[in-house]
Copies of this chain bind each other. A is one copy, B any other.
Amino acid sequence: MILGIDIGGTKMAAVVASESGEIVARQEVAANPEEEPEMSLGRLHAAAIKVLKAARVAVKDLREIGISCGGPLDTATGTIFSPPNLPLWKAVPVRAWFQDRYPQAAITLDNDANATALAEWRWGAGRGTRNMIFLTMGTGIGGGLILDGRVYRGTNDLAGEVGHQTIIINGPACGCGKHGCLEALASGPAIARLARERLEYGRGKALLSRAGGKAADITAQHVVDAAKQGDPYSKTILAEAGTYMGIGLANLIQILNPERIVLGTIAVHAGNLVLEPIRDAIREHAWERSASVCSIVAAELGDRAQDLAAISLAIP
């Protein structure tokens, strides 16, 4: 049995699961960005004790712990550096903190993109592949790279920042400070921005009413929902974002020649409304002999993704 700890900006959890990915017990812990990290860790530890008890695992028998968290972080020292939405977590030695409490366990800490990539690779849409790229397609676009059957982390744990490749030189501003990044063109906020910017008299009416009549309130979720109900305007927006995403994936295909690319979040919700434009753009922007060996699919783990992400880190 493995203990998984998921540290997120809106939700935290302690989970016990088997090596085959079967979740036996779990307990959520509300994230509180204004709380001292020490306090949050204490609440997570209490939840861990509880789920271990529920799973009938004695603490002394626990051998493996996986901890998944948003980056930046340092896998070598097991330290977290102010991940998004957790500004107080400045240089918190999370692994050492848990190691003190579980001295007999091997503890692995990694960022949530790598962890989710591993989980999808072991139990989800990436099963059976040797070279797989996982991409979130939500608030941000982050990636985890499985190359030759192992996570590739790069020189200082910053590999896989595929959302911050430049797609349009001097393009729209990105939250990271650069311009024209993939994330500024195909993430959830980028889709909402495209939808707002493209609003014209008479067009986008269905979408606008869905957002209560206020353009500023349009979200990517509104666009996906409207597109699913056939709204042509919202479909166009998803196709535009999908085209940018496809260009970014075509670059990954040229550089890394993967066997599969697994897309989360919006790709899961929107399905072919965004996957088809992505595949079309790949056909145009990647070589046929590289693209033909690479399937583009939506993630499969759904609600279990974050729990299994933490668990998958602990599997040798």
Copies of this chain present: 2
Which 5 residue pairs are nearest across A and B when measured between Cβ atoms?
A154-B257, A159-B257, A165-B251, A158-B257, A155-B259
A178 at interface, CB cutoff 8 A? yes
- Kindly state whether residue A106 has any CB partner on chain B within 8 Å: no
Identify the closest chain B residue to A171 (Cβ): B169
Which chain B positions have C-beta within 8 A of A156?
257, 289-290, 293
A166 touches B247 (CB 8 A): yes
Instruction: Decide: A287 near B158, CB < 8 A? Known: A164-B254, A254-B164.
Output: yes
Bound form: Cα–Cα A215–B290 in Å: 37
Interface string of A127-170 (1 = CB under 8 A from B): 00011000000000001010110101111111111101111110
A267 to B208, CA, bound (A): 53
How distant is A232 from chain B, measured CB to nearest CB, in Å?
A: 24
Instruction: Tell me which of B155, B167, B257, B284 contacts A258 (CB under 8 A).
Output: B155
| Interface size band for A | 35 or more
Option from B153, B166, B287 in Cβ contact (under 8 Å) with A285: B166
CB nearest neighbor in B for A133: B255
Say yes or no: A169 contacts B247, CB within 8 Å: yes
- A residues near B (Cβ < 8 Å) are 72, 130-131, 143, 145, 147-148, 150, 152-162, 164-169, 176, 178, 247, 250-252, 254-259, 284-285, 287, 289-290, 293-294
**A256 touches which one: B148, B159, B254 (CB < 8 A)?**
B159
In the complex, the answer to whether B169 meets A155 with C-beta atoms within 8 Å is no
A255 with B162, Cβ < 8 A, contacts A150-B148, A178-B285 known? yes
For residue A147, which residues in chain B have a CB less than 8 angstroms away from its CB? Answer: 147, 152
Chain A interface mostly: loop
A131 touches B154 (CB 8 A): yes
Min Cβ gap A261→B in Å is 11
B165, B169, B255: the one contacting A160 at CB < 8 Å is: B255
B164 touches A287 (CB 8 A): yes
- Select one of B154, B162, B294 contacting A155, CB under 8 A: B294
Do A161 and B250 touch (CB < 8 A)? no
A274 to chain B, nearest CB (A): 18
User: Given A158-B290, A287-B176 in contact, is the A167-B169 Cβ separation under 8 Å?
Assistant: yes
Partner of A72, one of B155, B160, B252, B289: B289
Closest to A176 in B: B287
Residues of B within 8 A of A256 (CB): 152, 154, 159, 255
| A176-B284 Cα distance, complex, nearest whole Å | 12
- Between A and B, 13 residue pairs with Cβ closer than 8 Å are A143-B255, A147-B147, A155-B258, A155-B294, A157-B257, A161-B254, A161-B290, A165-B250, A166-B285, A168-B169, A169-B247, A176-B287, A178-B285
B residues in contact with A159, CB < 8 Å: 255-257
Instruction: Tell me how far the C-beta of A21 lies from the nearest C-beta in chain B, rounded to whole angstroms.
Output: 25
